[in-house]
Amino acid sequence: MKEIILGAGCFWGTQAFFDKIKGVEKTDVGYANGLLDEVTYEEVCKGNTEFIEVCKITFDENIISLEKILEKFFKIIDPTLVNQQGNDFGTQYQSAIFFHQSDEQSFKNIINNFIEKMQINYKNKIETKVDYLKNYISAEEYHQKYLEKNPYGYCHINLDLADD
């Protein structure tokens, strides 16, 4: 199993989206690459912690490749935006791709090549942040599988795109 950590704005929708994809074994929503050892949703929303809302995705490389996950990811984000996805604005909504340092050699090349290939589809520069995972804090329990618990909860992500 491998892990990739993706920020696509609304982490509720990101989790619900990737939970629908064959080969994704587990998801967890949380906060990545911020300044603190502990943080709450309310603190992240204030915009001064540098945390990004993310979904940690554990996947089986024998079933789905990292490149295929990135293809799915780019269906649900506008990678040219800074600190915004859909109607969500703030530093916590920056699109991002984080990976473990142990995967840096292979993942970084795949990610950079993918972004370079995708750039031709966009007039503006792709601004998706790419970095190794410095820290990750799992979000509060009420955020986990939020859209399963609250099927009419707001999210800008079109979950039907997971089937494409």
45 among known catalytic residues? no
**114-117 LR contacts (CB < 8 Å, sep 24+):** 114/67, 114/70, 114/71, 115/79
129 DSSP assignment: E
Report the C-alpha gap between 146 and 16 in whole angstroms.
8
- Measured between alpha carbons, how far is 16 from 127 in angstroms, rounded to an integer? 24
Task: Kindly list the catalytic residues.
Answer: 10
